[in-house]
Amino acid sequence: MAAMRQGSGDVLFCAAVLLVAVSSFLEGAVAVQHVVGGEVSKWSFLHANNKASFYNDWAQNVTLKTGDSLLFQYNNATHSVLQLATEAEFTACTVPKTPVDKWVTGNDAVFISKAGTYYFICGTPVHCNQGMKFTIAATGDFVAAPPRPVGAPGPGQTANHAAPTAVFSGAPSLLLSLLLIATTFVTL
């Protein structure tokens, strides 16, 4: 009987260690969708016009990791989103003929697949010059973009660039399954 209790204690200890290890792994695996400008302000000229550094101030308070996405919500009759290739284009508010990418739907999720500095501006040059722009740095290893649904546009096309809110959406299910397995061993 004592040997039986010792064995179940070992199983419980192993299950606890496994649970902590998986939790630590999953904590970094879940991606975040950041609403550009915050939930209230979003991507809007009026907010940018109040303070020229509004969006850069917002971006400085965001921890962006690969696998995350930036959600641009705006009035697409007056705004768009351009991703620029260089800091020089960004600083000068240059609207190139071929930006890295362009979004125009008014509800665009930009998936961040690799570490580096990203440059975003409003496609209306006057808006960019008055503060509707920001630069943001992402950290982490390369993360492949999730597959697009059938019929969805490819990169560089101007339809809704939707991105998932989590790269590893099965995290809660996996965690629950491991917890159930661990409790099963304990009750044996």
Would you kindly state where each structural domain of the chain is located, as residue ranges?
A: 1-30+168-188, 31-167
Rounded Cα gap, residues 65 and 125, in angstroms: 29
**78 vs 8 pLDDT, higher one:** 78
Rounded Cα gap, residues 140 and 72, in angstroms: 22
118-154 pLDDT, tens digit each: 999 999 889 998 889 999 999 999 888 777 655 555 4
162-174 pLDDT, tens digit each: 333 444 434 444 4
- The residue type at 30: V
Domain made up of 31-167: CATH architecture? Sandwich (2.60)
**97 vs 50 pLDDT, higher one:** 97
Q: At what angle do helices 2-29 and 171-187 cross, to 10 degrees?
A: 170
pLDDT > 90 fraction of the chain, expressed in percent and rounded: 45
Average pLDDT over residues 2-26: 49
Q: 85 and 100 in contact (C-beta within 8 Å)? A: yes
